Amino acid sequence: MKISRKFDIYTFIVAAVFIAAFLISYRTISTISTETSRLFDISKEFDYLTHLKQTLIDLEHSTEHYLELAESKGYSNAVMKDLAGYEQALRMSSTVKLDDEEKELVQIALIKLPQFTGLLEELIRAEGRITEEHKAAYRQLRVDYIEKTLAGINEHWKEDLEKVTRLSERARQSKSRALTFLIILAAGLSGLLIVARIIVSRSVVRPLGEIEEISNAIAGGDIKKRIFLTSDDELGSLSTSVNVMAAAMQDKLEKLEDAVNKEQALVREQTILSELMGFIASGAELEVVLRIFLGRTRDLMRAGYSAIFIMEPRDPLDPELKFFINTFEEHTGMECGRSMLKGVFINVVRTLTPLRVNTPLTETPMMHVDIRNLIAIPLSSIDKGVLGLVVIINKDGGFTQSDEDMLFNFSFQAFQAITMQQEIIRYATTDGLTGLHNHRVFREKLHEEIERSRRYSRDISLLMLDIDHFKNFNDTYGHQAGDTVLRAVSALIQNNIRTTDFEARYGGEEFAVILPETSGSQARIVAERLRTSIAGYVLDLGGGEQQRVTVSLGYATFPPDADTDEMLIKKADEMLYASKHHGRNRVTGFGDGTLPPPAADTVKT
């Protein structure tokens, strides 16, 4: 359809909508005006009958008081005043639009008024000399005149009240409908204008701007640009011609660039891999080797950032992270790495299937850079004892299948060389004898948990425990028996704490347990459970020899007892030695006050 024809249709639609809106608005306003005028007339009629009724009632009351209170002079004046008010109210009927029955009622009241007025005047003149005959005459006239007139007024008053109520409700509904219509009309007209603007923008303004922009880009050398128009008018034909021209140019250039890029990529990959192998063979420290590996991998892919995860596959569905290094956050800790493994990379780790994403991600930890695209390659050592995950982030233009193949080949060869050169997991995190976390990892974990506690205003407690008389035990039974004790105590610690807690061999026969979100009173409960569990455990030393050992424990809590991780260790260690000093096999907490008496089950060795 031609552009001029489109504009004719849009103009007709807009004009038709405006005419319909005008006609509906005029009819609505006319209806509201008529109902409002009728309501005004009925209201005046209702008010008049109310006033007439009240003046007649006032006249009746003042007359009754006059007759009952010995014809008081004050009440006689009130009678004449109320009579004048009632008469004036009757004569005001000409100013109000009454219906025929109401006019007849007022006319009859006016005709009978002289008779009623004459009797009242006679009663006033007979002040102090009113006889029973006067009163009887008044009572009769009261029945014939006042009560009948009031009955007629009440009847028409009620009818007018119903009319006022009914008309008020109709007026309210009409106004409500009119307001609703006006709101809908305003919204509809606004929407129509917006739609008209959008249609014109999409049909003419935007396509012209896009054609101009893409044409300039192609002329400047960006031949990947395309115009995406599906209209069947002049603009659609023009965009198709431009796209055909650009596609022909791009096809020729891509073939030439592809051949050059493949050759360059192969040379770069082999050069970088040779350099990395030299570092591995030189015996450089593991962290240095991994950081060089990450930097070279990032350079190879021409990306912004890179990271490597080293895991121990104890549980195939949930491997345990042991080492994490990246180039996008200098001080990123293990907790951050675990968070990513349980989020966006969980399926990559479980299925060992590469992941390639070329759209922005929002499910990574907030302290990381914005991820526009990424590629993740799972790796495994030859003996399947170590898993790795290499992640490359933010490459201009996104990642291709060719990038995935290149990264896999490079990372696989480098990872095998690294895992064969060093025992990564044992070196990185664990104590060789007990299998617990080592001192270095404990320090990192405590720092992480302290910062988390500080950020979310939560308590964190630290337990320190030491095996009582361990040197004497070693001297008596030998170092092999001592190793048995260390392994047994380590197992008992692991069995008596939560999965969220963190245990470590602090050094020698001393152990540490980090208790996240745990107050001092809760830490004491955990410490007592550990103490009694270890004291009650029977060690089999072989050859029929059985022994028991005890431990002394101390604990402190952040933030009430310390404000840094170093201070927390110091306070907990002081409490440990306080337990030693006061008899061993006991728990002492910082801030306990007086120390408790020695435990009843203390074992002396």
Half-sphere exposure of 280 (CA within 13 A, CB side): 18
87 belongs to the catalytic site: no
Amino acid letter, 14: V
Contact between 463 and 552 under an 8 Å Cβ cutoff? The reply is no
CA-wise closest residue to 146 among 117, 103, 188, 173:
117
pLDDT at 74 over 50: yes
Cis peptide before 559 (omega within 30 of 0): yes
| pLDDT band at residue 366 using 50, 70 and 90 as cut-offs | very low
Query: Strand pairing of 551-558 and 587-589?
Result: parallel
pLDDT at 552 over 90: yes
Q: Measure the CA–CA gap between 154 and 50, rounded to whole angstroms.
A: 9
Calculate ∠ Cα 526-483-487, nearest 5°: 35
Q: Measure the CA–CA gap between 211 and 230, rounded to whole angstroms.
A: 13
Q: What is the pLDDT of residue 279?
A: 60
Q: Measure the CA–CA gap between 78 and 67, rounded to whole angstroms.
A: 12
Q: Which of 128-142, 505-519, 552-566, 567-581 has the lowest mean pLDDT?
A: 128-142
| pLDDT band at residue 488 using 50, 70 and 90 as cut-offs | very high
Q: Which CATH class is domain 439-589?
A: alpha beta
Q: Which of 110-119, 173-182, 562-571, 592-601 has the lowest mean pLDDT?
A: 592-601
Q: Which of 184-198, 261-275, 519-533 has the lowest mean pLDDT?
A: 261-275
Q: What is the pLDDT of residue 599?
A: 47
Q: For all residues of the chain together, what is the average pLDDT?
A: 81
Taking only the tens place, the pLDDT of each residue in 12-47 is 787 787 787 777 777 777 777 776 777 777 777 778
| pLDDT band at residue 143 using 50, 70 and 90 as cut-offs | confident
pLDDT at 600 over 50: no
CA-wise closest residue to 281 among 380, 385, 381, 422:
422
Q: Measure the CA–CA gap between 128 and 228, rounded to whole angstroms.
A: 111
A 10 A CB-CB count for 378 gives: 21
Q: Which CATH class is domain 267-424?
A: alpha beta
| pLDDT band at residue 330 using 50, 70 and 90 as cut-offs | low
Contact between 583 and 551 under an 8 Å Cβ cutoff? The reply is no
Contact between 174 and 35 under an 8 Å Cβ cutoff? The reply is yes
pLDDT at 532 over 90: yes
| pLDDT band at residue 466 using 50, 70 and 90 as cut-offs | very high
Q: What is the pLDDT of residue 601?
A: 46
Domain boundaries along the sequence of the chain = 3-192, 267-424, 439-589
| pLDDT band at residue 198 using 50, 70 and 90 as cut-offs | confident
Taking only the tens place, the pLDDT of each residue in 573-596 is 999 999 999 999 999 998 765 455
CA-wise closest residue to 513 among 488, 492, 483, 535:
492
Task: Say if pTM beats, i.e. exceeds, 0.85.
Answer: no
Q: What is the pLDDT of residue 281?
A: 63
Q: Give Cβ neighbours of residue 385 (< 8 Å, ≥ 6 apart).
A: 312, 313, 425
pLDDT at 194 over 50: yes
**What 8-state DSSP symbol labels residue 583?**
T
Calculate ∠ Cα 401-402-406, nearest 5°: 120
pLDDT at 128 over 80: no
Q: Measure the CA–CA gap between 79 and 124, rounded to whole angstroms.
A: 9
Using CA atoms, how far residue 470 sits from 11, 395, 486, 553, 570, in Å, is 97, 57, 10, 14, 22
Q: Exposed/middle/buried for 134, CB within 10 Å: 0-12, 13-18, 19+?
A: middle
Q: What is the pLDDT of residue 81?
A: 85
How many helices (H) does the chain have, and how many strands (E)?
17, 12
Q: At what angle do helices 3-68 and 73-91 cross, to 10 degrees?
A: 150
Query: Strand pairing of 551-558 and 460-467?
Result: antiparallel
pLDDT at 112 over 90: no
pLDDT at 604 over 80: no
CA-wise closest residue to 391 among 305, 472, 333, 330:
305
Q: What is the pLDDT of residue 521?
A: 94
Query: Strand pairing of 587-589 and 320-326?
Result: unpaired
pLDDT at 367 over 60: no
pLDDT at 597 over 70: no
Using CA atoms, how far residue 284 sits from 30, 280, 287, 294, 411, in Å, is 94, 6, 8, 15, 18
- Domain covering 3-192: architecture: Up-down Bundle (1.20)
Residue written as token pair 């109310």 = 50
The secondary element (H helix, E strand) that includes residue 325 is strand 320-326
| pLDDT band at residue 542 using 50, 70 and 90 as cut-offs | confident
Higher pLDDT, 416 or 8: 416
Find the catalytic residue in 162, 509, 510, 545. 509
| pLDDT band at residue 323 using 50, 70 and 90 as cut-offs | confident
Q: What is the pLDDT of residue 579?
A: 96
Question: What share of the chain has pLDDT > 90, as a percent?
Answer: 28
CA-wise closest residue to 90 among 41, 53, 140, 144:
53
